[in-house]
Amino acid sequence: MAIFPPAERIWWHQPIHRVELIWIIVAFLWGLVMFFMMIYWHAAGQQNLSNESYRTTPEAYSAKTEAMIAKYKVREDNGIPVVKPPAGSDVYLLGRVWMWYPQLEFEKGQSYRLHLSSLDLQHGFSLQPVNLNLQVHPGYEMVLTITPTSAGQFGIVCNEFCGLGHHTMTGRIYVVDRHTGT
């Protein structure tokens, strides 16, 4: 039994029972399916990470963010600038204790190059209710091309612990439908 040495000294010559062999083969093939599924999705799926990222510094990234705000700010919400960048442009969102800055306004169906970085600690970018979740590091700038396909008001929640104000760290993205104006 399992708590004693094997009864047969030469146990590696024992043939494998058919039912075990079938399961091993099925499980192995399933592993291959799962492996190739990820590759397939990079080719045919719509949701992938671009792997485009850069090293940066809080000062440099902050400067790029402020430059964008200066160009495309449309209003303020509770003292936080709301920025409406043109479609296809580079959009900068920064996370810092304890806010996502600035707020963004997108047009439904248009694509934007969204940049993410942190000024201090690791943060979790969690777009709700879309439920897109990305990790944001200080010193690293992640870029992704995003296409909002639903209109409305979306929240950004921080889901990486970043200190005692972690649960107050939120942001907002508005998506406007050009045709209906909402």
Partner 1 sequence: MAQEKFRICPTTGLRVDLSAQTLIKWNAVAGIVFLAIGGLFGLSVALTRWPAVHLLPMDWFYLALTAHGLDVLLLWIIFFEIAVLYFAGAVLLGSRLAAPRIAWTAFVMMLIGGITTNIAVLQGGSTVMFTSYVPMKAAPHFYLGLILFAVGALIAVFVFFGTLVVAKEERTYKGSLPLVTFGAVTAAIIAVFTLACGAIILIPTFLWSVGVVNAIDPLMYKLIWWGMGHSSQQINVSAHVAIWYAIAAIVLGAKPISEKVSRTAFLLYIFFLQLASAHHLMVEPGLSSEWKIFNTSYAMYLAVLGSMIHGMTVPGSIEAAQRAKGFDRGLFQWLRKAPWGNPAFAGMFLSLVMFGFLGGISGVVMGTEQINMIMHNTLYVPGHFHGTVVAGTTLAFMAVTYLLIPLIMQREIRFPRLARWQPYIFAIGVAGISLFMMGAGTLGVPRRHWDITFADALTKYEFPSSAFLLLGLNGIAAICAALGGALYVFIAVSSVFFGKRIADVPATSAPRVAPPVPLSPVGTYGSAGTLRIPGTVVLVGVFFVAFVLYYFVNWKYLAEIWPLR
Q: Single out the residue of 107, 109, 100, 145 nearest to residue 127, CA to CA.
A: 100
Query: Binding to partner 1 (CB under 8 A): which residues in 58-97?
Result: 77-80
Question: Residue 156: is it exposed, middle or buried by C-beta count within 10 angstroms (0-12/13-18/19+)?
Answer: buried
Candidates 67-75, 83-91, 142-150; binding stretch for partner 1 (CB under 8 A): 142-150
Candidates 17-25, 63-71, 84-92; binding stretch for partner 1 (CB under 8 A): 17-25
User: In which element (H, E) is residue 59 found?
Assistant: helix 58-72
Is position 43 an interface residue for partner 1 (rule: CB under 8 A)?
no
Contacting partner 1 (CB under 8 A), which of 150, 152, 179, 182? 150
Contacting partner 1 (CB under 8 A), which of 66, 69, 73, 170? 170
Q: CB neighbours (10 Å) of residue 154?
A: 19
Q: Which is nearer to partner 1, 78 or 180 (CB)?
A: 78
User: In which element (H, E) is residue 35 found?
Assistant: helix 18-44
Is position 3 an interface residue for partner 1 (rule: CB under 8 A)?
yes
Residue 51 and residue 134: Cα distance in Å, rounded? 12
Candidates 27-35, 65-73, 88-96; binding stretch for partner 1 (CB under 8 A): 27-35
Token pair of 126, please? 């969690």
Is position 16 an interface residue for partner 1 (rule: CB under 8 A)?
yes
